[in-house]
Each structure stands twice: as C-alpha cells, then as structure tokens.
C-alpha cells in the first residue's frame, strides 16, 4: 500500500500539477486509511485487499470519532481518486470506493470582501522593496482571481505588461490567459525594477528574501500583516480575494461563463455558487432602495 500511495502522490505532483498543500492533504488522508487497514487486518494491506466494506468501516470509524462531514467527504474523495489512479495503472480492475455515497454536507457560501474592504486592504504605501512586493502580489490576486498556488508559480515570462495579461498554469496543467487592470499594472511596474535587481537570472515573479520562489505560506503571512495594518477584523485568506474577484464581477453584470474561464473552473456548477451570493446582494439593494420593500 505504501508504494502505491507514493506512486499516486508523485502522479499528483508531477502529472496533475497539484499544489504542495493538496499533495500533503491527500498523503495524510491515505496514510490514515492505511493505518486503519493495518489495524483491521493485523498486517500491512495491499490495494487488492480493499473492498467497499472496508472503506465503509473506515467512514464509520470517522463518524464515531465525530469528524465533520465535510472532512469525511474529503477523505472519501481522496480514496476515490487514489483507487481510480490504481485502476488506470492496471493495479486494480475496479474502484472499491466508487459505490459509496459521500456524506451529505451543507454547501457553504464563499466568503468575500466588499469593495470598500478591498480598497482598505490594498491601500499599501510602499516604504521598502518588501512593501512593493506585497502590493504587487495582493493587487494581482484580486485583479485576476488566481489561486494562491497559481500566483507563486508565475514566472516573469508569463506576465505581459503591455497587454495586461498573465498566462496561468492551473489545476490539471490547464493553461489559461487572464487579464489584469490598471491598479495591478501600476503595482507590478513599481515592483519589477526591485525584483530584477535582486535576482536578474531567476525566473520566478515573486521572490523571498533569499532569492528563492515565494511560497503559499509567505503570501498568507503578507496578507495577514496587511489585514492588521488595514484594521480589518475578519478571517481573510488568499482564496477570499479570489471569491471577492468573482463576486464583484458578477455584481457588475459579468457573464457566468466568462467568470468560469477566468477562474479556471472545470465545471460551471462550481462557478454557480456565486449566483447565490449575488442574489443576497440583490435582495439587500432591493430592501434598501424600493419604497415599498418594508
């Protein structure tokens, strides 16, 4: 089982271009399942040992431990993907996780900042090269809606200042072109001279103090510091800026298909979550503006 899991994790990282966070999460879920199998069988398990009843027993164990349904659903999704990979590689003939239904979970609405909060967050007056980098990174996150992992993977060659476009390598190694606006252009133009002075022969767009590529964690730290400076008492992650990007586009009348392309969603149903957010916004506007709303 350990060899099969290692092969799957390499496949995720190298062929599917999954983020380090995703690979780590899958690894932890599969290691937990492998431990469960060892305890049940009294020996190291092989992929051929696993059937849907063993997976069901694993889910029952998670339920008894009072694990959240969302977490249990994620672990089952990891097992489905793992066994699907083994089927494709010819290790198994059928996927033992396929017959099982995911635990029913409440669909959480994406949290987002309003336009005023975004303005406060991005009001960075640079006093150092680190401030220039912070402003460029956060402006680009909001201007393009890219994932944090996609942002830190950007190279200098993938940024076209003249056309105001970036070339993004997304999930599944799918490439897309995303435009950005004047504020992001201004921030990038101010940041790039300092970036090129620091490491002219390095490809990465955003560098750390040692000249290496900036990580997801570094972006989160930059965002956390800026939240404190802006006195925004909210839980905000880089993904919140992605949700804000999509929500504000929809509120301004952007087409849902266009937003899907910009976000790099494989399915329109994923993008349709933002229609619920927009409906709430419309109701707020109606209640405030219509003379007979109350």
274 annotated active-site: yes
User: Has residue 106 got a pLDDT over 60?
Assistant: no
Report the C-alpha gap between 124 and 120 in whole angstroms: 9
pTM of the predicted model as reported, rounded to 2 decimal places: 0.65
- Per-residue pLDDT of 116-143, as tens digits, reads 999 999 999 999 999 999 999 999 999 9
For the residues 35-56, what does the mean pLDDT come to?
93
Same CATH topology for 2-88 and 115-287: the answer is no
171 annotated active-site: yes
Class of domain 115-287: mainly alpha
Fold held by 2-88: DNA polymerase; domain 1 (1.10.150)
- Per-residue pLDDT of 223-255, as tens digits, reads 999 998 888 877 888 989 999 998 888 888 888
147 annotated active-site: yes
Helix 273-289 / helix 256-263 crossing angle, nearest 10 deg: 130
Report how far apart, in Å, the C-alpha atoms of 250 and of each of 25, 236, 272 are. Answer: 31, 20, 10
Catalytic choice (75, 135, 153, 242): 242
| Whole-number pLDDT of residue 261 | 86
| Whole-number pLDDT of residue 44 | 92
Catalytic choice (16, 265, 273, 281): 265
239 annotated active-site: yes
- Per-residue pLDDT of 182-231, as tens digits, reads 999 999 999 999 999 988 889 999 999 888 999 999 999 999 999 988 88
Q: Where are the domains of the chain?
A: 2-88, 115-287
Average pLDDT, the chain: 87
Pairwise pLDDT comparison (103 vs 257), residue with the higher score: 257
242 annotated active-site: yes
The strand pairing partners of 213, in sequence order, are: 207
Give DSSP secondary structure letters for 196-229. Answer: HHH-TT--BSSB-TTSSBP-HHHHHHHHHHHHHH
197 annotated active-site: no
- Per-residue pLDDT of 250-292, as tens digits, reads 888 888 888 888 888 877 766 676 666 556 665 665 677 656 6
Report how far apart, in Å, the C-alpha atoms of 11 and of each of 23, 86, 242 are. Answer: 10, 11, 27
């Amino acid at each position: 089982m350990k060899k099969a899991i290692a092969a799957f994790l390499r496949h995720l990282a190298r062929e599917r271009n999954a983020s380090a966070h995703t690979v780590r999460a899958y690894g932890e879920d599969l290691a937990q399942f492998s431990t469960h199998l060892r305890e049940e069988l009294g020996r190291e398990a092989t992929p051929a040992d696993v059937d849907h009843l063993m997976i069901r027993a694993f889910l029952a164990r998670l339920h008894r431990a009072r694990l959240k349904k969302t977490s249990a659903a994620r672990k089952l999704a990891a097992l489905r993907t793992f066994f699907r990979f083994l089927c494709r590689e010819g290790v198994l003939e059928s996927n033992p996780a396929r017959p099982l239904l995911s635990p029913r979970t409440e669909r959480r609405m994406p949290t987002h900042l309003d336009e005023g909060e975004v303005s406060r967050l991005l009001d960075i007056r640079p006093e150092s090269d680190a401030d220039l980098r912070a402003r460029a990174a956060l402006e680009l996150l909001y201007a393009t809606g890219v994932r944090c992992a996609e942002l830190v993977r950007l190279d200098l060659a993938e940024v076209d200042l003249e056309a105001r476009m970036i070339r993004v390598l997304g999930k599944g190694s799918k490439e897309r072109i995303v435009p950005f606006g004047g504020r992001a252009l201004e921030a990038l133009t101010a940041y790039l001279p300092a970036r090129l002075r620091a490491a002219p022969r390095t490809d990465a767009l955003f560098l750390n103090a040692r000249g290496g590529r900036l990580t997801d964690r570094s972006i989160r730290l930059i965002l956390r510091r800026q939240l404190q400076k802006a006195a925004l008492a909210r839980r905000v992650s880089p993904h919140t800026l992605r949700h804000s990007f999509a929500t504000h586009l929809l509120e301004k009348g952007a087409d849902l298909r266009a937003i899907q392309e910009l976000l790099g969603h494989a399915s329109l149903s994923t993008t349709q979550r933002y229609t619920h957010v927009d409906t709430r916004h419309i109701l707020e506007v109606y209640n405030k503006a219509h003379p007979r709303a109350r």
